[in-house]
C-alpha cells in the first residue's frame, strides 16, 4: 500500500477524528460501525498509526457532514461541518444564540419568522467570520 501521509500528518488527523467523535458524542466502536471498519482500524486512525481510507473520509462527510478538507488537513481543532457550502457549525451557533435570546427575553416567533431570522444571522456570521452578539440582539429586536 502506498502511503501519502507522514506519521505527523496521521497523528494530527487522528486528533481531528477524536475531536469530531467527541463533538458527535460517539464512542470509537460507534464510529467504526458507522464507517464500516473494524474497531481496531478506527482506533489506529485516531492514534495516527494508520492512514485513513478515502472511503472513510467520504463516509464522515456523508454521515456526519464533516468537511473532508478539515478531516484531512484542518488547522483548527474544532470540527468543521459543511454541506453544499453551508458551515453547519456556524449555523448551529446561530440557532443556539437565537433560541437562548428568545428564551431569555420570553419572546416567541412564528416558525417562518424564526427560520428567516436564523438565516439572516447565519449569513451575517459567515460574512463576519464568526459570532456577533450585538447583531443578534439588533436582529432579534427587529424581528420580535
Among the residue ranges 47-61, 64-78, 89-103, the one predicted with the least confidence is 64-78
Q: How far apart are CA 73 and CA 14, in angstroms?
A: 11
Q: What is the mean pLDDT of the chain?
A: 84
Which region holds residue 46: left if phi is over 0, alpha if psi is between -120 and 50, else beta? alpha
Q: Compute the average pLDDT of residues 126-138.
A: 86
How many Å apart are CA 55 and CA 42, to the nearest integer? 13
pLDDT of residue 83: 58
User: Which pLDDT score, from 0 to 100, does residue 56 have?
Assistant: 93
Q: What is the value of pTM for the model shown?
A: 0.56
Instruction: Count CB atoms within 10 A of the CB of residue 139.
Output: 20
CA atoms within 13 Å, Cβ hemisphere of 2: 2
Q: What is the mean pLDDT of residues 105-129?
A: 85
Q: Is the pLDDT of residue 79 over 80?
A: no
* Averaged pLDDT for residues 73-89: 68
Amino acid at each position: 500500500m502506498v502511503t501519502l501521509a507522514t506519521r505527523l500528518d496521521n497523528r494530527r488527523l487522528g486528533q481531528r477524528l477524536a475531536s469530531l467523535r467527541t463533538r458527535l458524542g460517539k464512542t470509537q466502536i460507534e464510529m467504526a460501525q458507522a464507517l464500516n471498519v473494524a474497531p481496531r482500524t478506527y482506533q489506529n486512525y485516531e492514534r495516527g498509526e494508520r492512514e485513513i481510507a478515502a472511503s472513510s473520509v467520504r463516509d464522515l462527510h456523508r454521515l456526519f457532514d464533516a468537511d473532508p478538507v478539515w478531516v484531512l488537513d484542518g488547522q483548527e481543532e474544532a470540527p468543521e461541518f459543511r454541506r453544499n457550502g453551508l458551515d453547519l457549525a456556524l449555523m448551529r451557533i446561530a440557532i443556539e444564540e437565537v433560541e437562548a435570546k428568545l428564551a431569555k427575553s420570553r419572546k416567541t416567533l412564528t416558525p417562518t419568522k424564526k427560520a428567516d431570522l436564523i438565516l439572516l444571522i447565519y449569513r451575517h456570521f459567515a460574512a463576519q467570520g464568526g459570532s456577533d452578539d450585538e447583531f443578534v440582539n439588533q436582529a432579534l429586536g427587529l424581528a420580535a
